[in-house]
Amino acid sequence: MRLTDFKALTFDCYGTLIDWESGMVSGLKPLTDRLGQELSRDHILQAHARHESAQQLQTPGMRYRHLLAVVYKRLAEEWRASVSWDDCLAYGQSVKDWPAFEDSVAALHYLKQHYKLVILSNIDNASFAASNRTLGVDFDAIYTAEDVGAYKPSDRNFLYMLDKIKGLGIERGEILHTAESLFHDHGPASTHGLKSCWIYRRHDQEGFGATMNPGETPTCDFRFNSMAELVEAHKQDVAG
């Protein structure tokens, strides 16, 4: 199997193209700076993952920026900090400030020359529009949790994408699902018969950070530690 066998790359965005963990830690500073104790980065991210995942199950139709506001409230309660609802809403709006990984923009512009590029993300449309300006590439399709009314790893997100992507002339076997999260993406991608590429951004860190532990590690067909490594491997395939 070669990277050049595929016609479309379907991307998770946050954690893969956008450095959401750095964005979260930065966005949570108004809260964590109030605490009487210093929390490690991993402690913050794991608590965030726990509350985010639980809220996504409870309110699958809630827009992500509003869901983040609830997560902020739950974290403040857990950490015994007093916050206002305006504080919570401000965190929900912080997605626009989350940075891209340093290799994302160049990689996407290269890959755009060879593939259809598609987003399948646990995000709302307004928040993704801000991230898209950061990434600076025209995606061929954007499928969000807001569109679907559910959050990955729900089957609904992948079924929605597989149905809609046919309109681009792309069949299931021509898709390479490209993502960091084993929990949100690679598990359900495998369930739905998709080939997958793991961008293992956390390869030099322990644990799962802002995503939940997937339990059993799902099968991935390719693994790279960055988008830059994916681009180099594609260039080697093209060179033959």
Q: Which entry of 12, 19, 124, 185 is annotated as an active-site residue?
A: 12
The segment(s) of the chain belonging to CATH 3.40.50.1000 are 3-20+99-239
Indicate the pTM of the whole model: 0.94
Query: How far apart are alpha carbons 82 and 197 in whole angstroms?
Result: 42
Output the CA–CA distances (angstroms, integers) from residue 138 to 134, 161, 205, 230, in the order listed.
Answer: 11, 18, 32, 19
CATH code: domain 3-20+99-239 is 3.40.50.1000
Using the predicted structure, report yes or no on whether residue 240 has a pLDDT greater than 80: no
* Each residue's pLDDT tens digit, 48-100: 999 999 999 999 999 999 999 999 999 999 999 999 999 999 999 999 999 99
Is residue 12 flagged as an active site residue? yes
Is 117 in contact with 8 (CB distance < 8 Å)?
Answer: yes
* Each residue's pLDDT tens digit, 3-55: 999 999 999 999 999 999 999 999 999 999 999 788 999 999 999 999 999 99
The segment(s) of the chain belonging to CATH 1.10.150.750 are 21-97
Using the predicted structure, report yes or no on whether residue 206 has a pLDDT greater than 90: no
Question: Taking CA 35 as the corner, what is the angle to CA 44 and CA 77, rounded to the nearest 5 degrees?
Answer: 70
Q: What pLDDT score was predicted for residue 207?
A: 87
Using the predicted structure, report yes or no on whether residue 156 has a pLDDT greater than 80: yes
Residue 113's pLDDT band (cuts 50, 70, 90):
very high
Q: What pLDDT score was predicted for residue 101?
A: 97
Q: What pLDDT score was predicted for residue 213?
A: 84
- Percent of the chain past pLDDT 70, that is, above it, reads 100
What architecture does CATH give domain 21-97?
A: Orthogonal Bundle (1.10)
DSSP result, 34-70:
TSSSPPPHHHHHHHHHHHHHHHHHH-TTS-HHHHHHH
